[in-house]
Amino acid sequence: MKLHIVNCAPDAGRVVQQALSAMTTDDRLLLIEDGVQGALPSLVDGFSGIEGRLYVLREDLEARGLMSRHDDRVTVVDVDGFVTLTEQAEQTLSWY
């Protein structure tokens, strides 16, 4: 299992699509920085193929005023959770 890390907004080009196309069926995806916008209920459908394997970084949601606006289907992790995700994955890939 690999952890894919996306830091770009869904509207900023094709980065999200690239990450999704490189994922196997057990890989996980973590949204950080502007990537956290993807956790909004109106945008989260873009990740419908990986339900249950989508994570978002709490600090970046909070800093952007998006903490109470994210979709419940996305798992919120803090930076410790980010480290844990990298421990559990054999490898990480960053898409920026």
Task: Tell me how far apart the alpha carbons of residues 36 and 94 are, in angstroms, rounded to a whole number.
Answer: 14
- Number of helices (H), then strands (E), belonging to the chain: the values are 3, 5
**Is 47 a binder of other proteins (CB under 8 A)?**
no
**Is 21 a binder of other proteins (CB under 8 A)?**
yes
| Closest CB 71 distance from other proteins, rounded Å | 22
Q: How far is CA 45 from the centre of its chain?
A: 13
The residue count for binding other proteins (CB under 8 A) is 29
The single residue among 9, 43, 59, 69 that binds other proteins, judged by CB under 8 A, is 59
Cα–Cα nearest to 76, from 91, 94, 90, 61? 61
The single residue among 9, 23, 43, 76 that binds other proteins, judged by CB under 8 A, is 23
**Is 7 a binder of other proteins (CB under 8 A)?**
yes
